[in-house]
Amino acid sequence: MSSATGYKFKSEPFLRHAAEGEARGRAEGEARGRAEGTARAILVVLAARGLAVSEEAHERIMACRDIGTLSGWLVSATMCESTDGYFGSPSSLRRPDASRT
C-alpha cells in the first residue's frame, strides 16, 4: 500500500489494520447492498400486486437497513390487501380473501 507521496507502508501493524478496515468496509457494503436489494424487492412485489405505495412508505422501506425487518416486510408484501398499516406486525396484516381471486 502506498500513500499519495509514493511512500510504501510496510509496517505489519499498519498493513494489518488496513486489511481489517478494508474487510470491514467490504462487509458493510455487502450488507447495505443486500438491504437495498430487499427493499427494492418489496416495492416490486407491492407494485406487481397493484398496491399503491405512499411516498412516506417508499422512503421508509428504502431507508431501512435491518435485513430482518426488511425480510418480514417482504413476506407481508406478498399477503397484505393494502399498504395501510403495512408497518405493523405481519400477523396484523389481513390476508387477501381467497373468494375474491
Domain boundaries, the chain: 12-79
d(CA 99, CA 53): 25
49 exposed, middle or buried (CB, 10 Å; 0-12, 13-18, 19+)?
middle
What's residue 101's pLDDT? 36
Please give the backbone phi and psi of residue 2, each rounded to the nearest 5 degrees, phi first.
-130, 160
Q: Which 3 state secondary structure label does DSSP give 8?
A: strand
What's residue 1's pLDDT? 52
Q: Average pLDDT for residues 15-35, to the nearest whole number?
A: 78
Q: 8 has which bridge partners?
A: 2
77 within 8 A of 42, measured Cβ to Cβ: yes
Task: Report pTM.
Answer: 0.65
Whether the pLDDT of residue 50 is over 90: the answer is yes
User: Residue 42 has which C-alpha cell?
Assistant: 418489496
